[in-house]
Amino acid sequence: MHERAQLLFVSFLILLAGFVAAADSVAVETANEYKFATGDDSRWAAVDYDDSSWLTLPLDHFPKDSLQNIFWSRYTIFVDTTLWNKTLAIRVWQIGALEMYLDGRFVGRIGRVGVDKEEEKPIISDEFPQIRLIIFLPNDDIVDGHSRHILAVRRSCFIFREPLVMNLSPQLRFVIGDPRQFVDEQRKKQSQATAHQMLLIGIFSTFGFIHLMLFFFYRSFKPNLYFAILTLVWAFLSYLRFENYFYTDPHQFIVNLRLTNIAAVAFTLTAVRIVYLLVYAKKPKSFYALLVMGLLIVLVEWKTPDIKASLLLLFMALCMIEILRVIIAVRLKKRALLYENTWLILGGLFPFAVIVILRILPIFSLIPPIWDFITFPLLYYSMLSPAVMMSIFLSSNFANISKNLQKQLVQVRLLSEKTVKQEVERARLQAENERKTRELEEARALQLAMLPEQLPQMQEIELAAFMQTATEVGGDYYDFVLHENGDLSITFGDATGHGMQAGSVVTAAKSLFKSLAGEDEPAAILKRMSPILKEMNFGHLYMALSLAHIRGRSMEISAAGMPFPLVYRAASHTLETLELRGVPLGSFTGFSYDTARVELRENDVLLFMSDGLPEMFNNDNELFGEERCIKVFIESATLSPSEIIDRLVQAGRDWAEGRPQKDDVTFLVIKAKKAM
């Protein structure tokens, strides 16, 4: 970051200097040859120094055997006399350290020239050139309106002893021109690189987080885990690749390169693993061969990092070819796939693998470059293809799971209505019912697993929560997100219906809450969630939900079809009802949800509750009702949050008199602590 800030400052100076340049186009030419000598003598910078005994070399040639010493180069430059005393810029591509002298005058340095590796402070500017200001002064050496000037460069390149840069050329390249043009080009590339970096990191980090959460909630589907790893590693690679564009410190560059090599191997092996997982019941032996090959490449590249990474690129190309081979073979042999609609994922991976191969081939000069990396890094954006297809695949599977579960529940009801006349039929029905019961128990366990393991501890408020599930799996749900700044986001909801369908709705709502919490106000988040749930095609299942954002004792609350929250004011012993009206999520899109802003004072209490207690029946088929809920709440409001919940739960049990509950009973109590 220090190097980047320094570059921006220099660019600002160059931009100011550019406005005093007289010509729109810069007429500067460099001779096709230059003079070269090893050693070190300050007299070699003089414009009239006799360098006839030096080596004469073409501009595109450099004697690498001279890298063990300090060496000098002298370049002849012809400048249009109209550019005398005008501020110009020299843009330099090089590796190592150098000092520049124009007609004997010192005009700038890049890094620090040293007599050995320890003294030298090298700079890598092979990809991102350095810019310095220069001024050509008038002289008497004029031919055809152009004056002759000498640019003497004192250099050291001990950095070339590092394996990292051995494959690069130490040849110095420079261009002299309009400062405004140079700084505009530099800033444009810098802006493009930063924009692509932030966009790619944001996109693929979001994909990775969502699929990781989906795996935690449904661990039997392992492609979610591997796809989360794939997208998160790709986000990390995007960060490293573009960050490398700004590095000038070789040591930073080496660390970055090592991390890039490890991440590239991890990404490639994960991509192969996903394809094998979707196609084969067991990992084929070829995967273990690729795994060993990848680990060996990591060890080699870690010990002697190679900037061209030839072994790594060959390994990646081999893995991409293997992915294409498997996809094509499955298609030709019409092999049965392990998961329904797997072709969506394989179809997304196919163009990505092709683009990776097309990106690697130009590096080995097999084909010319197809696209510019900075202008549009197609390789990195091509990961959107498998990412989008994976999301479509999951959406289709969620829809199929809901449809299948609905059919199974209908079948259970039909079987329960039949009269069992034969022992064999009774045994069959009993086994079927036991299987369905296990499924409901697993669904209930999934519902409970989605609740937070522990409540957040806050400085100014005290929290307590409770949920008692019904005999059949319902859809009550609460969750928290504690932000880095100490704010707390709370969600409290109830999905319509029962069974696995409600569990699917809750799973989707939880993922959306975790992804969107803290990004916007509660009402805006609800408005964003509703169309997403509607597009998931849950049928007539909706999600009633309350959202609250808490900062200290201040709360902003919105609700979508939930019972109104109750606020007990300790100072006046009064009760407030927050009438927040709104339709459940997934029913209508574009609905504007109400917002209530609440400031809790000392010992004030806020109660969220589902409709389980108000709609509880006793043995006389009488409802418990909202008035009894309010009465019990007011009577217990001076107690702690957990004790308030105990009173509400006990009141419900006394009312039911042992009658099985038909709906989940859930409470969330927030109480303002006493001022310290």
CATH number, position 583: 3.60.40.10
Contacts of 620 (CB under 8 A, 6+ apart): none
- Residue 80's pLDDT band, with cuts at 50, 70 and 90, is very high
Q: Is the domain of 505 the same as that of 605?
A: yes
Q: Is the domain of 319 the same as that of 382?
A: yes
Whether 139 is in a domain gets the answer yes
Whether 429 is in a domain gets the answer no
**pLDDT (average), residues 408-431:** 66
Q: What percent of the chain has pLDDT over 70?
A: 83
User: Which of 147, 177, 207 is where one domain is finished?
Assistant: 177
Q: Tell whether the model's pLDDT for residue 21 goes beyond 70.
A: no
**pLDDT (average), residues 274-289:** 85
Burial 571-604 (b: 16+ CB within 10 A, else e): eeeebbebebebbbbbbeeebebebbebebeebb
pTM of the predicted model over 0.75: no
Q: Is the domain of 356 the same as that of 495?
A: no
**pLDDT (average), residues 568-582:** 91
Q: What is the pLDDT of residues 282-336, one digit of tens each?
A: 888 888 899 999 898 888 877 766 555 677 778 888 888 888 888 788 777 776 6
Average pLDDT of every residue of the chain: 82
Q: Tell whether the model's pLDDT for residue 453 goes beyond 50.
A: yes
Contacts of 484 (CB under 8 A, 6+ apart): none
Task: Label residue 397 left, alpha or beta by phi (over 0 means left) and psi (-120 to 50 means alpha).
Answer: alpha
Q: Is the domain of 465 the same as that of 372?
A: no
Classify burial at 194, counting beta carbons within 10 Å of its beta carbon; exposed 0-12, middle 13-18, buried 19 or more: middle
For position 16, what pLDDT does the model report?
39
Q: Is the domain of 170 the same as that of 196?
A: no
* Distance between CA atoms of residues 502 and 480, nearest Å: 20
For position 348, what pLDDT does the model report?
77
Whether 231 is in a domain gets the answer yes
**pLDDT (average), residues 205-215:** 88
CATH number, position 289: 1.20.1070
Domain that holds residue 99: 22-177
Q: Is the domain of 580 the same as that of 629?
A: yes
Whether 78 is in a domain gets the answer yes
Whether 655 is in a domain gets the answer yes
User: Which of 396, 412, 437 is where one domain is finished?
Assistant: 396
Q: Is the domain of 64 the same as that of 133?
A: yes
For tokens 């809750």, name the residue: 506
Whether 660 is in a domain gets the answer yes
User: Which of 144, 177, 210 is where one domain is finished?
Assistant: 177
Q: Is the domain of 533 the same as that of 640?
A: yes
CA distances from 339 to 131, 332, 344, 376 (A): 56, 18, 11, 35
The bridge status of strand 173-177 relative to strand 87-93 is antiparallel
Whether 270 is in a domain gets the answer yes
Q: What percent of the chain has pLDDT over 90?
A: 29
Whether 415 is in a domain gets the answer no
Contacts of 99 (CB under 8 A, 6+ apart): 106, 108, 109, 113, 153, 154, 155
Q: Is the domain of 152 the same as that of 71?
A: yes
Q: Is the domain of 226 the same as that of 310?
A: yes
Q: Is the domain of 389 the same as that of 502?
A: no
Q: How many domains does the chain have?
A: 3
Q: Is the domain of 90 the same as that of 140?
A: yes
